[in-house]
Structure 1
């Protein structure tokens, strides 16, 4: 069948017209929108580095990062504890802060960001209760295989619904009842380290603490929230960790010049791991459901609450109910143990450098826990270990950022934040600001917390290791109690110093971790 020339011309014209309309739409909705947002911010006196076309400030960020890596490899700081790692881990933010101040704007690709490290504005973010500031969707979308659409990733009413179910599990009265479980979970670690000492000559042992603490923390969260031991969920944790490590090799913050898309091989690996994790969690959920039907208990763990929440929510269909349960289990399995384990590693590193604080904790334990056992009541009286944890979280907060996206136009102080702008607050910069903490801001001095956070600095709202506002970490009480229990037990059994193998290398891998691990020399007391 022949096509007339006029019909061919018409088809070609319509195709060309459609392409022109598409390009105009693209230009108007993406390029012009981005330019309008930049102009709104700059009209308010907010300056920042000059972006390039399409890629924004990505090329500059990558160049600064590369130059910093080269420089740091040739010049390792001897006095590393006084060294502010933000200038090496996040060098672009620090360079721009020095040039443009505590509030500036920059862009990644066509997305506009607002850096906010002014204490007064952080305080206002902390007091905002609106749902119009959520987690940046472009950022959390990348970690969806790890966290699903659970409470860490979701926004708006979905987030509020999940918070209503999850938050009560971590109220202090509930956490107090988990102290015995935490003490029990720590026993295998203590025994393992005693065996290490015996195997290495009977006096001292050189141990790397990170994986042991990760296993301990995973066991605690498994048993406390899901009614199973770490060994039952070991495969889930292992696969979640593999997903995290795959992401850690990419810059989760600003991506690369392929606009953040992972290579196909890595994407396939993550997809396979994601399916395996979801299958394992769903098997655990079905087992738990069966247990719930066979034994009715007034004490419900988090998995039971998630099951009931999904069943009672009429707006959720069968598939949505399954996703609701699995996604929140993934979030809590990962977020509930990884950050706490990393915080414990940093605490042990600092205590190894400052043995006088080990002595102080040990002395207080002897006075408070006269029978040698730790209880919920005795934890309230352990002030020294609390101060140590607070100072460690000041210097090495696992969460490096407060990140928010303006889901609607929002006013923050005198700034009108346009819809779509992402706000970033760099926590370690606030935590090491001499104007807030004094001239010793880079030193490990737990005594600054003797009278609590309110007296520790000139602007207490600048202490934000667990975040700000409605999105404050739900596991704050759980993490603090677990850290107190674990550190108290370790210090009561062992004295320790930093191993010669230790290499100070803070690295950002979704959270700030000891890049090469924490190695300590332990000796049994």
Structure 2
């Protein structure tokens, strides 16, 4: 009798547990997402109807496939009206549902914002209630972890306090000679190649720039040269390419032992091991370096192991921030410099104008921090390049509490997305020539380049704006000024203009130029 009663109790508990789990899954995957969408619909924000669990992922892939098929039938040319290429579904839904609309990626509910006054409100908000989306450290955790690129709240505040001061103007100016040194080493390789090829050489320049920018970030921030960090950069690059195709928000997908996930997990472990090796070598050397790595190590000492308020351990704090710096330091500068050379090659009149300015500024002195400050035409070209070909493609935020933006009450748990490329080429903001390369629009500075300066956001917006933007701009100026002072270049017939998304917007087939020494 007692055994039967015990068995009945166990069965009852099992049924209750099953019901609890079932209701929890319904809440997480159905009821909560629907409540969030309903709150936006009541405020007049429309969007496509999602499917259970996968949201609008199928429709996103369908629109992408149709766009790819259409592009493959077009003749290749350097055109800039490609803002919808990486995310064609955003352009389709924007035209269908309005400037602000909602959609779902798996169970992640997203409010896409392209109405400029709402964008302005997001830019001006300093509230910690607007953080980074949690899918960055969940679905994309192997690449971003909980580093400065993906963290929110107290974690992000601590990281910003440590990292940002190391990239302020005075610090960057002190790094300029290092940038020149690394760049000169690369240009000597170019000179040798051009000479060996008989005076003109075809080069895929973005590969050179990626190696060179990696060398700069290694020396400036980690106290070592590219050769020591080469394996880290290569593995982060491999992880970046794999994870760029990840579908976020699909429940449990990242835990399935698929071939791709197994490769991701393997790379993640290898990258962590390599970074900790660099860290341990620094600790054992008892170095007095005051570079960014040292500041991260000192900041990590202030963490308690498994500190619940920060949700991050000491080793994870170090590894994730190093991963973020390796990734951002390599990609942003290399891609921007590559796009700049491509545009100058396609517009020889502007190439000649910038070269004339560079030679004039450097006539009696070497390239340094003060020299590049005076290169106004070069700055205009860089800003126009960042407008047409921004390395970053999306500004993303997540509401950690209910928040009011203009006339929209955005409920807690919504992801906010601003498509940078679409904002940068909106003819209502930039005029009818928004798709054309016209550096003159920046002749009176960024604030006067278009109808609303908040439409220009190549380094993000608000408190989470890229901490390394000044570093990147100075580095690109140094790169371009040195290249232009020694070489002239044109687009190779083999160049195929095809921007592709890999968390940054990069040239799918590289930037192939014909390079000739002056």
Per-residue CA shift, 1:43-99, capped at 9, x if unaligned?
1111111222332212111111112222222x22454424x2233321111000011
Match of 1:270 among 236, 239, 264: 264
Q: Does 1:499 align with 2:497?
A: no
> Distance in 2 between the 1:340 and 1:309 partners?
26
> Structure 1 pair 92/40, CA: closer, same or farther in 2 (3 Å)?
same
> Distance in 1 between the 2:12 and 2:456 partners?
62
> Structure 1 pair 245/204, CA: closer, same or farther in 2 (3 Å)?
same
Match of 2:172 among 160, 172, 175: 175
Q: Which runs of 4+ in 1 moved over 3 A?
A: 2-14, 77-80, 254-263, 312-317
Output aligned runs, 1:417-456, within 5 Å.
Answer: 417-456=410-449
Structure 1 unmatched ranges of 5 or more: none
Match of 1:346 among 339, 348, 364: 339
SS at match of 1:371: coil
Match of 2:293 among 303, 314, 317: 303
Tell me if structure 2 keeps the 8 A contact 1:223–1:230.
yes
> Distance in 2 between the 1:260 and 1:324 partners?
22
Which residue does 1:113 correspond to in 2? 110
> Structure 1 pair 257/505, CA: closer, same or farther in 2 (3 Å)?
farther
> Distance in 2 between the 1:492 and 1:90 partners?
37
> Distance in 2 between the 1:522 and 1:3 partners?
89
Output aligned runs, 1:63-462, within 5 Å.
Answer: 63-73=62-72, 75-82=73-80, 84-200=81-197, 202-248=198-244, 250-252=245-247, 254=248, 259=253, 264-291=258-285, 293=286, 296=288, 300-313=290-303, 320-462=313-455
Which residue does 2:482 correspond to in 1? 489
SS at match of 1:419: coil
> Distance in 2 between the 1:265 and 1:79 partners?
36
Which residue does 1:58 correspond to in 2? 57
> Distance in 2 between the 1:418 and 1:256 partners?
21
Superposition TM-score, scaled by structure 1 size? 0.93
> Distance in 2 between the 1:323 and 1:7 partners?
46
SS at match of 2:417: strand
Tell me if structure 1 keeps the 8 A contact 2:344–2:351.
yes
> Distance in 1 between the 2:107 and 2:140 partners?
20
Tell me if structure 2 keeps the 8 A contact 1:58–1:256.
no
Which residue does 1:16 correspond to in 2? 15
SS at match of 2:313: helix
Query: How much is the aligned-residue C-alpha RMSD, in angstroms?
Result: 2.1
Offset at 1:207?
A: 0.4
Structure 2 unmatched ranges of 5 or more: none
Offset at 1:256?
A: 6.9
Superposition TM-score, scaled by structure 2 size? 0.94
> Distance in 1 between the 2:444 and 2:427 partners?
19
Tell me if structure 2 keeps the 8 A contact 1:151–1:163.
yes
> Structure 1 pair 325/518, CA: closer, same or farther in 2 (3 Å)?
same
Tell me if structure 2 keeps the 8 A contact 1:72–1:88.
no
SS at match of 1:510: coil
Offset at 1:258?
A: 7.7
> Structure 1 pair 3/517, CA: closer, same or farther in 2 (3 Å)?
farther
Match of 1:515 among 497, 501, 508: 508
SS at match of 1:115: strand
Offset at 1:147?
A: 2.5
